[in-house]
Structure 1
Amino acid sequence: MAKEQRFERVYTQGALQITEIWVDKETGVNYLFHASGNAGGLTPLLDRDGEPVVSPLLNR
């Protein structure tokens, strides 16, 4: 039985420099991932007030 993935990629852009948005399906928190070459980083996506962007949980 396959285990369901916790994170879902909802946006992707680029080939050599990749920018993606991932959503945690348990909390709804959005994360921004950026990679260039063999360096990359992941951080919570924040709104203009500095609060994490939270998507509605549709699969619950």
Structure 2
Amino acid sequence: MRDKRFVLKSKQHLSGGIIKIVVDTQTGVNYVMTSGLGMSGMTPLLDQDGKVVVDKR
């Protein structure tokens, strides 16, 4: 069986929605996923300098 491409790093309920941080296991890039209140989205997570957060593989 193949390893999962995306893994859940954290999950938080916030103001009627859910915010998740998922990691692409092939690239190490962290993504923010939001859902709730009829909307959802996914975007790369940025650090304080505006650079994409990447976990070391």
TM range (shorter): 0.7 to 0.9
Provide the aligned C-alpha RMSD in A: 1.5
**Sequence identity (%):** 39
Q: Which has the larger strand fraction?
A: 2
Tell me how far apart the structure 2 counterparts of residues 42 and 20 of structure 1 sit (CA, whole Å): 9
Count of aligned positions: 56
TM-score of the superposed pair, with normalisation by structure 1: 0.82
> Following superposition, which runs of at least 4 residues in structure 1 exceed 2 angstroms of deviation?
none
Q: Which runs of 5+ in 2 are unaligned?
A: none
Q: Which runs of 5+ in 1 are unaligned?
A: none
TM-score of the superposed pair, with normalisation by structure 2: 0.85
Structure number, greater radius of gyration: 1
